[in-house]
Structure 1
Amino acid sequence: MDITKLALTPPMGWNSWDCFSVSVTEEEVKQNADFVARHLKKFGWEYIVVDLAWFAPGATHETYKQLNIPQLIDEYGRLIPDPEKFPSSANGNGFKPLADYVHGLGLKFGIHIMRGIPVQAVDAKTPVKGTDLTADQVSYNRESCPWYNSLRTLNFAEKGAQEYYNSIFELYASWGVDYIKADDMNSWHEVQNSDGSPTGEGSPYRIDDIEGVHRAIENCGRPMVLSLSPGGPETTNIRHLREHSNLWRISADFWDEWGSLKKQMERCAVWAPFSTPGHWPDADMLPLGYMPRGESGGQDRNTNFNQDEQVTLITLWAMFKSPLMFGGHLPKCDDFTISLLTNQDVIDINQHSKNNRELYRNGETVMWTADDEKSDARYIAVFNISDEKRAVNTDLKSLMNLEGVKATDLWSKEGLGQCVGNLTLDIEPHGVRLVKLS
């Protein structure tokens, strides 16, 4: 299976990380899958992804980063779901019953995985399926993940590492997995210098593991979208990224802070020229709505973004053509949040536009543009990144060689009339106006 033929438009779905961290349960996954099927599927939302620690009994937000936490493995050293969190996985069923449930709703099922092999497999010297080797012989205890310390690094200098990855993807294929979020793969740095260069804690770009997972997917007999995480890779890796993955993160975990959103806007501008069908730079999940047990920003809370910032977030992700993975607990999200996910005009930009790029920035204003794939319409998004309301005048004639066009605000649905050459927009602080020109 050639994964480069998958994800021809940016994937859209729900992921458990922002709202449930490492303690999501089967019932909570089903609740969100049911909501997507009833309310969002018709707009293109389709993936249901279970994030980190589905295999770790008792893991909590406070404990999962500890060294060598409990993890469940099968006879071949492969991680299997915790039946306390996922009761249908008992008796060797794995995620097949849950995947079948999701598929029965007309949706697709995904899981998060970590780079490497579980420490429990190494300690028990479990056999590597398809070889005469054991887990301790195909791994070593170096280069551990900075934020999850319960796996060992596979040794691709010797036989057995690829076979281990082959074995886990054989298992995932039997479960019916459609989407893989592979963690501790992409280069990432916690701290950056003022010029954007990396420093401090981080993780390198894992060439052997990325290629190993790619080969395992190709050989497993089931199509699976591959998303690499976390992020911050150099654009000089673009050929390798495109050849071996469908999505790759462009930052560490993104959370609901205005400063982080402004920084993400800069990263999106850098990466926008590298998007192509089947291969998408990923601005990360959408930390919106209700997050009862999330990883950052406190427990039992709603997003820290105000409404204008939320509109800015969705608009940027749409104009950038980022994958759209919603992070809140959907059944407890308010109507405003759901309205952000069901604006067909905005989704169409994310799914069916081209030439997406930042057109200019002047310190307080940032403007993006894109072209509709199906017509001669153009889109502009004018962001006010200042802390005050501003009237922004945009010279469409000089910037885009446009005049005499009809303008429509895609969030308010308000017609803005004919623009002879200039378009003046009132924009709230941290807000945006998204306009279709036709």
Structure 2
Amino acid sequence: MKIFTLCIFYLISQLLLNRLASTSLCNAQATHAVTPPRGWNSYDSFCWTISEEEFLKNAELVSQRLHAHGYEYVVVDYLWYRRKVPGAYTDASGFDVIDEWGRMVPDPDRWPSSKGGKGFTEVAKKVHSMGLKFGIHVMRGISAQAVNADTPILDTTKGVAYIEGGRKWTASDVGLKERKCVWMPHGFMSVNTKLGAGKAFLRSLYEQYAEWGVDFVKNDCVFGDDLDIEEISFVSEVLRKLSHPILYSLSPGTSVTPAMAKEISGLVNMYRITGDDWDTWGDVAAHFDVARDFAAAKMIGSRGLLGLSWPDLDMLPLGWLTDPGSNEGPHRKCNLNLDEQRTQITLWAMAKSPLMFGGDMRKLDDTTYNLITNPTALEINAFSSNNQEFPFVTGSPPKSDPSSHSGHEKYYRRPQTSSLALVSCKETKAKGWVVQSVDQDLDQICWKNSFELEAPFCLYKIKARVTSDEEVYATKYYGKTHLLATNRTALCIDASPKKRLTSKEFKRGSLSPCKRDANQMWDLRINGTLVNSYSGLCATIKTVEAKAVPEGIRSWIATGRKGEVYLAFFNLNQGKTIMTMRLSNLGKVLPGVKFRALSRCREVWSSRGCHISKGSISIDVKAHGAALLVLT
């Protein structure tokens, strides 16, 4: 009996110890990205042309001026492996530097400390000595240059070429040529993660980044329109096992929805939910809807890779910049006026987006510095809760300016068009395709939800032409079809994720010759989804308005850790607007807030008090401007 009791006691004690160990591990892991990551990225000011000297100088200034405000990452954006020589540009071929295993290494002319196989080791050491963390941008899968060179794949567990099934595997075995990065087709393609060799290649990449001392990886062309859930999942698995922690970021986020993001949010630490953001008012205003949707879906600060994950509204293109897609460094000021810049930083703060400053630190002016280090904005960004759009706000033009626009959501509208778009196949709006027979040789695939229109949205279906000597295509795409906008069999819809063709463009003949490539292959499933074999996404039809920049008013709300209520008013109109809210409406979205006790109000950007009268707050907000109120 005593022995039995001792055994029971031993088993219970072991269970408790295991539970405590597991809890300690979870607590340790939960420190990963517990607040939205903050730092500096080279893209907005240097495009891809930045040198080691320029990067380290910017890092030094981040350490001196921004680190105390929570900016800890300095990130080299894309093409650090490309030689800066005549003829080299974003989608140029043959200018990249790769090692014997087909992995990208820094261009030694721009990054001289990388010579001798050191990679970014020396740069990372210098960044770490400044008290900062080092990040890099990487593309999807494997480079076309490695595939063309047919380089061997490194087996990192043995330190030799990867061998399986009695043969040595190479880059051409794992690169999926039919799944190239749409906006850089001559540069990179997906890796076949179903193969042990494909997994070995990706593992060799990220283990090398860890050896270099990389703390942050921004993975491009795997999300949004370019979704590659297999690569994201495997990379996340590799990062989870590394002894050197690496934050995992996805970019870009064109066409991302909360449903798509929920598939990957637990695998990463931040993910773009928009396309590239630049310094135009249209780009800033376009973020309001998507920020609202992700907040409503409770995606802000959800579970992520070894910690939390954050929807990313993109970098802050403020200060001294370059131009989008240029081959040159910083040479101009930000095009946004001060009110528009305040609107941007206020929305990014209220939506708890990662804050990645993009301006050249060597020419950081006081206005920009004060904007990106505003203590209230940073407090909201890191520590506020209950962040959401607040619809209970009204707007009216000043009496002296009756031409000003008001209203919660207004747009300059143009006629509606039907647009072919790609979404996650798990979304309900992906289901709705049916076959309509035209004659015995030709079928149409129609969007059933458009039958009430005079001209339903239909596409013509023809079997993909695959010759017998092309075994790969014959096997992989058997049964797949091409889609045409008309019954002309010579032209197909180039429905790549990068470009959406509207019905108007179809009528103008904006099609492309039918080719044997996965970009134009489609599969109609029995559940009514139309799957694109290039991306694995499904087609849907969106009736969209080709609208200009949105107008109207918006408002966001959040609570602080000391009981504050943060209220942001946004005026998207072209003229000044008086915005008003009643404190009693706070209870509709923040039921725990004692709104009657709120008696003090301060506006952050003007540093002035704001008046609470008869339970209401009214404030003038300039065109394209923002007012950020703190209620206590």
With the length of structure 1 as denominator, give the TM-score of the two structures.
Answer: 0.91
2:103 is aligned with 1:55: no
Superposed CA deviations along residues 308-331 of structure 1, whole A, max 9, x for unmatched, are: 000000000000000000111012
TM-fit CA distance, 1:64: 2.5
Q: Find the aligned partners of 2:327 and 2:141 in 1 and give their Cα distance.
A: 29
Superposed CA deviations along residues 21-73 of structure 1, whole A, max 9, x for unmatched, are: 1101111111211111111111100100000000010268x843335241111
Q: Find the aligned partners of 1:217 and 1:336 in 2 and give their Cα distance.
A: 39
2:173 is aligned with 1:137: yes
Superposed CA deviations along residues 285-305 of structure 1, whole A, max 9, x for unmatched, are: 001100146537996211110
Structure 2 unaligned blocks of 5 or more: 1-24, 156-161, 164-168, 303-307, 394-407, 410-551, 588-593
2:354 is aligned with 1:323: yes
Change (3 A) 1:67 1:34: closer
- DSSP 3-state at the match of 2:252: strand
Pairing partner for 1:370 from 543, 558, 578:
558
Q: Find the aligned partners of 1:317 and 1:293 in 2 and give their Cα distance.
A: 22
For the aligned residues, what is the CA RMSD?
2.0
Mapped contact 2:278–2:324 kept (Cα < 8 A): no
2:413 is aligned with 1:226: no
Pairwise mapping of residues 78-117 of structure 1 onto structure 2 (< 5 A)? Answer: 78-117=103-142
TM-fit CA distance, 1:171: 0.7
Pairwise mapping of residues 383-422 of structure 1 onto structure 2 (< 5 A)? Answer: 383-400=570-587, 402-403=595-596, 404-418=598-612, 420-422=614-616
- DSSP 3-state at the match of 1:434: strand
Pairwise mapping of residues 154-173 of structure 1 onto structure 2 (< 5 A)? Answer: 154-173=191-210
Mapped contact 1:19–1:295 kept (Cα < 8 A): no
Structure 1 unaligned blocks of 5 or more: 189-202
Change (3 A) 1:358 1:8: same
Q: Find the aligned partners of 2:148 and 2:36 in 1 and give their Cα distance.
A: 40
2:91 is aligned with 1:66: yes
The one-letter amino acid of 1:244's match is L
Instruction: Choose between structure 1 and 2 for higher RCO, CA contacts under 8 A separated by at least 6 residues.
Output: 1
The one-letter amino acid of 1:402's match is F
Change (3 A) 1:214 1:437: same
Q: Which residue of 2 aligns with 1:281?
A: 311
Q: Which residue of 2 aligns with 1:197?
A: none
2:64 is aligned with 1:38: yes
Q: Which moved more, 1:424-433 or 1:406-415?
A: 406-415
Change (3 A) 1:426 1:107: same
Mapped contact 2:610–2:619 kept (Cα < 8 A): no
Mapped contact 1:18–1:295 kept (Cα < 8 A): no
Q: Find the aligned partners of 1:85 and 1:297 in 2 and give their Cα distance.
A: 14
Mapped contact 1:16–1:327 kept (Cα < 8 A): yes
With the length of structure 2 as denominator, give the TM-score of the two structures.
Answer: 0.64
Q: Find the aligned partners of 1:264 and 1:247 in 2 and give their Cα distance.
A: 16
Pairwise mapping of residues 198-209 of structure 1 onto structure 2 (< 5 A)? Answer: 203=226, 205-209=227-231
Q: Which residue of 1 aligns with 2:321?
A: 291
Pairing partner for 2:237 from 178, 199, 215:
215
Change (3 A) 1:35 1:293: farther
Q: Which moved more, 1:49-58 or 1:411-420?
A: 411-420
- DSSP 3-state at the match of 2:554: strand
- DSSP 3-state at the match of 1:142: strand
Q: Which residue of 2 aligns with 1:300?
A: 331
Q: Find the aligned partners of 2:220 and 2:381 in 1 and give their Cα distance.
A: 25
- DSSP 3-state at the match of 2:286: helix
Q: Find the aligned partners of 2:292 and 2:231 in 1 and give their Cα distance.
A: 28
Q: Which residue of 1 aligns with 2:383?
A: 352
- Between the two proteins, the alignment pairs up a number of residues equal to 421
Q: Find the aligned partners of 1:30 and 1:217 in 2 and give their Cα distance.
A: 26
Change (3 A) 1:386 1:350: same
Change (3 A) 1:46 1:59: farther
Q: Which residue of 1 aligns with 2:277?
A: 254
2:286 is aligned with 1:263: yes
TM-fit CA distance, 1:420: 4.3
Superposed CA deviations along residues 110-134 of structure 1, whole A, max 9, x for unmatched, are: 0000001122222222221112211
The one-letter amino acid of 1:161's match is G
Q: Find the aligned partners of 1:265 and 1:150 in 2 and give their Cα distance.
A: 33
Pairwise mapping of residues 17-36 of structure 1 onto structure 2 (< 5 A)? Answer: 17-36=43-62
Mapped contact 1:53–1:59 kept (Cα < 8 A): no
Q: Find the aligned partners of 2:579 and 2:327 in 1 and give their Cα distance.
A: 33
Q: Which moved more, 1:286-295 or 1:258-267?
A: 286-295
Pairing partner for 2:182 from 143, 146, 151:
146
Larger radius of gyration: 2
2:267 is aligned with 1:237: no
Q: Find the aligned partners of 1:38 and 1:394 in 2 and give their Cα distance.
A: 41
Q: Which residue of 2 aligns with 1:178?
A: 215
Q: Find the aligned partners of 1:53 and 1:172 in 2 and give their Cα distance.
A: 15
The one-letter amino acid of 1:171's match is Q
Change (3 A) 1:92 1:342: same
The one-letter amino acid of 2:191's match is L
Mapped contact 1:255–1:296 kept (Cα < 8 A): no
TM-fit CA distance, 1:256: 1.2
Q: Find the aligned partners of 2:318 and 2:325 in 1 and give their Cα distance.
A: 13
- Give the 4+ runs in structure 1 shifted more than 6 A: 1-4, 296-299
Q: Which residue of 1 aligns with 2:498?
A: none
The one-letter amino acid of 2:95's match is P
Q: Find the aligned partners of 1:169 and 1:387 in 2 and give their Cα distance.
A: 48
Q: Find the aligned partners of 2:616 and 2:219 in 1 and give their Cα distance.
A: 46
- DSSP 3-state at the match of 1:215: helix
- DSSP 3-state at the match of 1:75: coil
Q: Which moved more, 1:103-112 or 1:398-407?
A: 398-407
- DSSP 3-state at the match of 1:279: strand
Q: Which residue of 2 aligns with 1:434?
A: 628
Superposed CA deviations along residues 318-361 of structure 1, whole A, max 9, x for unmatched, are: 00000000111012121100111111111000000011000117
Mapped contact 1:280–1:322 kept (Cα < 8 A): yes
TM-fit CA distance, 1:4: 6.7
Change (3 A) 1:75 1:244: same
- Percentage identity across paired residues of the two chains: 37
Q: Find the aligned partners of 1:70 and 1:220 in 2 and give their Cα distance.
A: 31
Superposed CA deviations along residues 155-182 of structure 1, whole A, max 9, x for unmatched, are: 1232211111110111111110000000
TM-fit CA distance, 1:276: 1.6
